[in-house]
Structure 1
Amino acid sequence: MKAVAEIFTMGPGNKDHHPALRCAVGVFVPLITLTLIGRLDLAVFASFGAFTGIYGRNEPHSLRFRSQLRAGGFMLLVILFATLTARVAQAWGIGGAEYSWFLTAATTLVAGICSVVVAAWRLRPGGSLFHIFAFAAIASIAAQPPLWEAMLVTVLTTAFCLVVGMSSRVLKSHRTPWKRPPPIRHTSPERRAMWLEGAGYLVAAGLAGTIATVVGERLGFGHTYWAMVAAVVPLVGHSTRHRVSRGIQRIAGTVIGLVLLAGILWLNPAPWAMVLVIAACQFGAEMFIARQYLVAQVFVTPLALIATLLAAPVDPGLLLRDRIVETVIGAVIGVAVVVAPVLWRRMSAGRSV
């Protein structure tokens, strides 16, 4: 019941409009540029490159620059790995169900490895959710654009977000002292927790991807990586109750977000208007992501799906159906992975009494 109660609780604000505005500008400028030059096939690369601005949310400028530089550089590697994976699979003639299973396995490895790297660098937000999403979404694109164009857009977007992240230094009232960030050192318990967390991401993402792929093959659902993304959402939290609450909020926020998205698509907006919607949703997501995950998820859902539609137009009805089905599968599995160790410890304690 306490997990359900958290759905109706709003956390305190902390100048959330500052990072929200930075993130909105960071995604809007690259996407509107691609719209104006008629290259929306590259929109997905700009969208994921813009994830750079999400990191270092309320950190001092010098620390934020290090966080965003590391996060952006690491995301570049993930995106490069994703597009090379798709190209190698096409060259080797791997497709259909065979590629779905291959992609699930590769994304599972990305989930575990990226989780450990993010924890080692103490990046916030933690976990590998963004890396799972970026890798699987890009590796799923059948018609890959030229490699140099894709990476150029990603690099330029990353660099732009770094500039935006430092932009408030022009205002003396917002400027923080520039000093070299201290090196990151980990204690033995922290290193152990880091690897255990990576194992949790491996299990949650792998299990969700496997079940979603099996269900998708039998019932005709696609976008199985959405289940993997949803499965790792409950793994981020300071308590079991909070993690279970995030899983519930993921499902509820997705449902409400899909209703909002259906209304937007009913208006049949032009591409430039869809870019405006993406920027507005990015602003809304960052405004509430640290305060109320359900509300943030209402903005995240249309944000993710509109970006998908811009890059590769598909039947919106099928897209909405896949989103809710895969989200439910992933969130349920993620909650199960969180709760299972707790139940096991209680059962073991009961047997020892």
Structure 2
Amino acid sequence: MRSLTTSLLREGCFVSILLVKYLDGHDLRRALAPHGWWRLRPVSGPVGISALRAMTGANIVLVAVVLAGHTALAPAAAFGGMTAIHARFEPYPVRARMLAAIGGGLVLAVALGSLASAAGWGPLPGTLLVACVAAAAKLLTDAIRSGPPGGLIFVFAAGTTAVLPADWGTAGVQVGVAAAGALTAWFVAHVGWLFSRSGHEQPTAWRAGVRAAFSRSSHELPRAAKVGGAVLIAGLLADLCGLGHPYWAMIAAAAVLQSTHLRHTVHRTIQRVTGTLAGVVIAWLLLGLDLPMPVKLAMIVAALLCAELTVVRNYALAMLFVTPLTLLLGSLISNAGAVGMASDRLLDTVLGAVAGLGVALIRPGRGYQLAAT
């Protein structure tokens, strides 16, 4: 533990030096201003309806497979269902196309992770796979302007399924369950279309955006490369330090880089770490209660609803619910102790977030002049 702490401190000192190097005094004060970390953003759009839609669409298949006794399939069901948390406020025609693309991408991420597990890939090939998924997801979600959470859930899906034990048959079942979750989420997301009078909006044309993303002057390509590089570094460092869940570090690195501006990345890093710290305490208390399965499921559903209601206001606040949600979901398929899971989550998150911020500081790119968060 002492060597791990030393490594994390050394990483933090390195990032601090880079931060001072790249930001002048005025910009440094703006980037690190505490009021920016905790500010509640104003909300436009039907947040309550969006949150209920996401909660329902994301959990139907998850709850079904768990109650049927197939808890090992819970992650695949959850990742397919996470299609529902995207395109929150898009008009229905745009949402239909966007969620079809995102749902297909999430199923593909589950397939890649499951196949890597079935093939017996070790930590290095698995980390390389997740890094490639992270870069591709960032590039394509930016190209189609999908909005939050961007490419993050794709990293979560590939990283988690790559480390879950699976044979070839299990991998196929996981892909099928993920597809069922994505399809269910798509239908739930469009139930309101039956009663809507605003169904004449034209779908957004994506060809120009995708072409621009792959052009020489693309701003999306460098951002995608940064995400892939940060995820790779975070995964390798987590494995080198012997942390229990290296894919959590990779997810944290991708999470802080789902942005276009350095100031936004700084804020997301601080919010990710502080929100996770508080969320870990809540999760540790819940996991220590040895709750029955139906109660855990109810808490997972409620946590997603609360996360959707708060993420549009403040990222740190949302992490109070995302962290228990993640750990409760993990407890469905693992018998690891509450303290071990909670400490792994915190250490992996700190390492991954610092790695992501470090990569952002090495090459700030466009948006370095601290545009609004």
TM-score, L = length of structure 1: 0.88
Q: What is the correspondence of 1:247-326 to structure 2 with a 5 Å cutoff?
A: 247-326=269-348
Counterpart contact for 1:86–1:140, Cα < 8 Å? yes
Between 1:120-129 and 1:324-333, the stretch displaced more is 120-129
Structure 2 equivalent of residue 171 of structure 1: 195
Cα distance in 2, alignment partners of residues 248 and 52 from structure 1: 27
Judged with a 3 Å threshold, the aligned counterparts in structure 2 of structure 1 residues 113 and 237 are, in CA distance, closer, same or farther, namely closer
Question: Taking structure 1 as reference, are residues 274 and 181 closer, same or farther at Cα in structure 2, changes over 3 Å only?
Answer: same
1:167 is displaced (CA, Å) by: 1.2
Question: Offset at 1:232?
Answer: 2.0
1:132 equivalent in structure 2: 155
**Aligned partners of 2:227 and 2:356 also within 8 Å:** no
Query: 3-state DSSP class of the match of 1:125?
Result: coil
Q: Does 1:73 align with 2:95?
A: no
Q: 1:122 to 1:142 in 2, by over 3 A?
A: same
Q: Per-residue deviation at 1:48?
A: 0.3
CA shift digits 1:261-297 (9 cap, x unpaired): 1121232221111111111111111112122000011
* Percent pairwise identity: 28
Letter in 2 for 1:328: V
SS of 2:119 mapped into structure 1: helix
Displacement after TM superposition at 1:318 (Å): 1.3
Structure 1 match to 2:173: 149
Normalization by structure 2: what TM-score?
Answer: 0.83
| Distance apart, 1:205 and its partner CA | 0.8
Aligned to 1:349: none
The structure 2 residue matched to 1:30, chosen from 38, 58, 61, is 61
Gaps of 5+ in 2: 1-28, 369-373
SS in 2 for 1:177: coil
- Tell me the CA shift for residue 105 of structure 1: 1.6
Pair 1:33–1:188, CA change in 2 (3 A) = closer
Q: Does structure 2 conserve the Cα–Cα contact (< 8 Å) formed by 1:63 and 1:181?
A: yes
Mean Cα deviation higher: 126-135 or 182-191 = 182-191
1:223·1:326 contact (CA, 8 Å) conserved in 2?
yes
Of 79, 94, 100, the residue aligned with 1:63 is 94
Amino acid at match of 1:23: A
Structure 2 counterparts to residues 188-267 of structure 1, below 5 A: 188=212, 191=215, 192-216=218-242, 221-267=243-289
Task: State how far apart, in whole Å, the 2-side matches of 1:123 and 1:27 are.
Answer: 18
RMSD: 2.2
Corresponding residue to 2:80 among 49, 52, 57 = 49
- 1:59-97 CA-to-partner distances (Å, cap 9, x unmatched) read 0011111111100011111111111111112xxxx5xxx
The one-letter code matched in structure 1 to 2:97 is R
3-state SS, counterpart of residue 154 of structure 2: helix
Q: CA deviation at 1:103?
A: 1.2
Q: Is the 8 A contact 2:62 2:77 kept in 1?
A: yes
The runs of 4+ residues in structure 1 deviating greater than 4 Å are 187-191
